[in-house]
Amino acid sequence: MLVLNATFEPINVTAVRRAMVLLLKGVAQAEELNHHEVHSTSRVMKVPSVIRLLAYRHIPQQTRALSRKNILLRDRNTCQFCGAVFPASELTLDHVVPRSRGGRSSWENLVACCYQCNNRKGDRTPEEAGIKLARRPRPFTLYTSRQLMRLIGNRDEKWRKYLFY
């Protein structure tokens, strides 16, 4: 579910449960509804596709925690060596500069990698292994977050007018 600031600026993607809590607390309002409904003992509510916060929230420079999930999100479940897309369960994280050579676990040194490419690379740099990175790894930024919102938005037509296609 897409979350907009009071100014209609896209700021996040959230789970349905969190969005419904924001609606029930009166902190947000539904801008676009989808065809699903949530039932309680006394109410039936349509599930929104897009919600907007009623009060403007200053969003500080966004940083995301360094985690496997976020690296796979940033790399779009794509092996950064062969370019193939895999389910998350079939990907590993690879240190571009191996840890045994002083490589750190950082946004700039971790990439999504399939098992075959990871085995081929081994404890070497990509250059030593004769393989090339598809993209240089970068930190997860607000720009990256907006790009992901656009990718997710391709599945929901109602998001498009808020994501500036």
Strand pairing class (44-53; 2-4): parallel
Nearest to 59 by CA among 17, 113, 130, 4: 4
Q: Is pLDDT at 46 greater than 70 in this prediction?
A: yes
Distances from the Cα of 126 to the Cαs of 48, 67, 72, 111, 120, in angstroms? 45, 22, 19, 12, 10
Count of residues making up the chain: 165
Q: What is the CATH number of domain 68-129?
A: 1.10.30.50
- Per-residue pLDDT, 27: 97
pLDDT of residue 58: 87
Percentage of the chain surpassing pLDDT 70? 88
| pLDDT value of residue 142 | 59
pLDDT digits (tens, 9 = 90+) for 65-120: 788 988 998 898 999 999 999 999 999 999 999 999 999 999 999 999 999 999 99
Phi/psi of residue 112, each to 5°?
A: -75, 140
CA angle 67, 69, 70 (to 5 degrees): 65
pLDDT at position 62, please? 61
Q: Where are the domains of the chain?
A: 2-60, 68-129
